[in-house]
């Protein structure tokens, strides 16, 4: 049984816990959609982003940009709250 989850109707965006810890990426690649969106939103053309991936269509980049906009990346909280608990418990 596969752990791959298809996240978009067009099938371009997938999540697999064994690849990038489950971070959404373009199918059949390790292209993190949030990195792709940052490059695209920074002014890089989809064709430039796909350099080195000749088998992937431009639509895959556009799907990544759409998905990233609709599903913002959740950042880790600042600091390490468990350290505070450990420090307090040691007192």
Q: What topology does CATH give the domain 5-90?
A: Arc Repressor Mutant, subunit A (1.10.10)
Q: What is the pLDDT along the chain (91 residues), one digit of tens a residue?
A: 478 999 999 999 999 999 998 999 999 889 999 999 999 999 999 999 989 888 889 999 999 999 999 999 876 656 555 555 555 555 5
**pTM, entire model:** 0.75
Distance CA 88, CA 86 (A): 5
Whole-number average pLDDT of the chain: 85
Distance CA 60, CA 82 (A): 39
Instruction: Give the residue extent of every domain in the chain.
Output: 5-90
Residue count (the chain): 91
């Amino acid at each position: 049984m596969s752990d791959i989850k298809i996240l978009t109707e067009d099938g371009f965006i997938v999540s697999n816990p064994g690849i990038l810890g489950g971070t959404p990426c373009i199918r059949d690649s390790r292209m993190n959609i949030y990195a792709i969106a940052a490059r695209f939103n920074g002014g890089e053309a989809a064709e430039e982003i796909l350099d080195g991936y000749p088998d992937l269509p431009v639509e895959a980049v556009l799907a990544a940009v759409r998905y990233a906009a609709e599903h913002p990346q959740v950042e880790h909280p600042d600091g390490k709250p468990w350290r505070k608990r450990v420090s307090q418990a040691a007192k």
